[in-house]
């Protein structure tokens, strides 16, 4: 189906936006000192920006530096790389001064400013990528995906007049600025929560007298106990061959390790139990459970989450350990916090087994021997409430970020096709 061309717009191909385009250059290792910073695909941040601080230091001849040096508002196109989950063809807008280039796996694109606005062009190419236009242009060789650049330049689209391009770029840039500001708030909230967690779980609330223990200095009236001493049970689950889709409501499912995350418990991360297998109700997850990942890469082993609420018929996998708190001694939520804290994680990290960081394990024995600082129940509840207030601010910021990302996606689709017009 042919799209209707909005008034003043015209059919165009990508190649006609360019004033110049050329491949990047890797250069040589610096013998004494580098004269250029080279950007690679690894510098492409997931949020659509460039991480300049991790650029590679390289050495170019003066002639090569002139030929391959980046200019403000150049667009970097990933020509080689990618994966099954991340197709090749990502783009980023360069917003720095002299002293940078891009690797030989990149194409450097310089926009003809008499034809197109560079910022608009970046949004356009990014939208074409997100729309899947580069997927059929990939050629896989020895595990690396290469972009058919000749075919890429022939991709057609609708181009608005230059004044409208600039207005569209202004609208989308304002959303990007709001996204960046919200992410900064989220990062700051995480740091505040981390500091608050450390203070509350070592100093408590309103204490003036402290004592030295195996865990360091804690309030005098607190107790040091093993996890085994404050729980009523510990168990793990079952990992049968399951269907790859989540279990519908009413069906049985087995939780994946990705259901347990530092941001909380995510019940949708499960696999449907085949109808041919009998469920095991005794390992069904319940509200109040404390879940810990027991096997996997080092950064994913020992992750702790508290189950505030959960639908019925979801079972533990054998890579998850469940603790049930003795509620006369400790709340499940407080237990999850103390195990998530540096105090808990340092003990678990020291005792993880495994020959490589890619595959580590935590046994039930290790967990039961882990020491925790236990305040009176009333103070545990105060600590949880204080951290909940911090978490609420974090959740609100995450909700705002998701709304902004949805808004940007919708605006790109509307404004870059002309379905909605901006006033110039």
The DSSP element (H or E) to which 224 belongs, if any, is: strand 223-226
Q: DSSP string covering 91-113, please?
A: EEE----SSEEE-TTEEEEEE-T
CATH number, position 74: 3.90.220.20
The answer for residues whose C-beta is within 8 angstroms of residue 282's C-beta and 6 or more apart is: none
- The share of the chain scoring above pLDDT 90, in percent, equals 72
Token representation of residue 351: 């005792």
Q: Does residue 397 form part of some domain? A: no
What's the pLDDT at 1?
A: 41
**Cα–Cα dist 418/237, whole Å:** 53
**Structural domain of 72:** 10-159
396-406 mean pLDDT: 82
Q: Does residue 417 form part of some domain? A: no
Q: Does residue 107 form part of some domain? A: yes
Q: Does residue 216 form part of some domain? A: no
The pTM score is 0.64
What's the pLDDT at 354?
A: 65
Domain boundary among 374, 391, 408: 374
Token representation of residue 278: 């009998």
pLDDT at 313 over 80: yes
Q: What is the dihedral of CA 154, 415, 86, 70, to 10 degrees?
A: 70
Q: Does residue 406 form part of some domain? A: no
Q: How confident is the model at residue 359 (pLDDT cuts 50, 70, 90)?
A: confident
């Amino acid at each position: 189906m042919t799209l209707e061309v909005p008034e003043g717009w015209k059919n165009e191909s990508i190649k006609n936006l360019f004033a110049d385009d050329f491949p990047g250059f890797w250069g040589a290792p610096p013998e004494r000192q580098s004269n250029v910073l080279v950007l690679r695909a690894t510098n492409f941040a997931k949020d659509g920006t460039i991480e300049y601080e991790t650029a590679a230091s390289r050495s170019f001849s003066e002639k090569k530096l002139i030929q391959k040096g980046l200019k403000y508002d150049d667009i970097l196109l990933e020509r080689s790389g990618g994966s099954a989950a991340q197709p090749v063809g990502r783009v980023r807008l360069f917003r720095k001064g002299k002293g940078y280039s891009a690797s030989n796996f990149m194409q450097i694109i310089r926009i003809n400013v008499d034809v197109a606005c560079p910022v608009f062009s970046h949004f356009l190419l990014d939208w074409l990528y997100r729309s899947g236009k580069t997927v059929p242009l990939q050629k896989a060789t020895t595990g690396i995906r290469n972009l058919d650049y000749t075919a890429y330049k022939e991709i057609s689209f609708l181009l608005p007049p230059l004044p409208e391009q600039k207005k569209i770029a202004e609208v989308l840039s304002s959303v990007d600025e709001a996204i960046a500001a919200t992410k900064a708030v989220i990062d700051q909230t995480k740091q505040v929560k981390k500091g608050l967690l450390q203070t509350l779980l070592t100093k408590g609330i309103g204490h003036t007298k402290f004592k030295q223990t195996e865990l360091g200095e804690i309030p005098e009236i607190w107790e040091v106990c093993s996890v085994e001493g404050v729980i009523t049970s510990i168990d793990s689950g079952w990992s049968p061959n399951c269907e790859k889709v989540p279990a519908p409501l009413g069906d049985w499912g087995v939780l994946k390790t990705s259901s347990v995350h530092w941001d909380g418990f995510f019940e949708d991360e499960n696999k449907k139990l085949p109808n041919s297998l009998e469920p095991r109700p005794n390992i069904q997850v319940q509200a109040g459970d404390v879940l810990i990942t027991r096997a996997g890469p080092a950064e994913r082993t020992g992750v702790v989450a508290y189950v505030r609420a959960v639908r019925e018929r979801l079972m533990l996998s054998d890579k998850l350990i469940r603790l049930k708190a003795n509620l006369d001694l400790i709340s499940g939520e407080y237990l999850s916090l103390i195990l998530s804290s540096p105090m808990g994680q340092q003990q678990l990290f020291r005792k993880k087994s495994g020959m490589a960081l890619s595959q580590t394990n935590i046994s039930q024995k290790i967990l039961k021997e882990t020491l925790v600082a236990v305040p009176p129940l009333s103070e545990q509840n105060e600590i949880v409430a204080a951290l909940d207030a911090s978490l609420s601010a974090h959740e609100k910021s995450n909700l705002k970020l998701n709304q902004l990302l949805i808004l940007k996606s919708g605006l790109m689709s509307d404004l870059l096709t002309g379905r909605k017009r901006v006033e110039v």
